Structure 1
Amino acid sequence: MNSHLFPQIGKVIASTGSRHFSRMLHDLILTQLAVDATHIRQMRVEPVGRASSRSEPEPLKEPALLAETVFSEHSAAAHHLQNPPAATSADASQLHLTRRKDGYRYVISVYRNDESQRFSAQERSLLQDISPVLLPMVEKHINALQPANPDPQSPPESAEGNGLETLRLRFDERLEQLGLSLSNRETEVCVGLLAGRTAPELAEQLALKVNTVESYLKRAAIKLGISGRHSLMRWMYSPLEALASSAA
Structure 2
Amino acid sequence: MAFDTAASARARDDYRSLTISPRALGDLVGRVGTPDFVRSLGQFVNADIQADAIHLERMRPDARNPSGYTTEWIGSAGEEYALICEVMDCYYANYCDRDPLFVSIRGSSGTLLVQRDVGALTDDGFKREIFTSARIAQECVISHGTRNERYSLGLSRCEGRAAFSLRELALLRQLGEFLFPLCEMHSRSASARRISTPHREGTPVSRFEERIAREEIRLSRREGEICRSLLSGKTIPESAQMLELKLSTAESYVKRAFAKLKVRTKWELLQWAHTDA
TM-score category, normalised to shorter length:
0.3 to 0.5
What is the TM-score with the length of structure 2 in the denominator?
0.41
Bigger RCO of structures 1 and 2 (CA < 8 A, at least 6 apart): 1
What is the TM-score with the length of structure 1 in the denominator?
0.46
Whichever of the two has the greater Rg, that structure is: 2
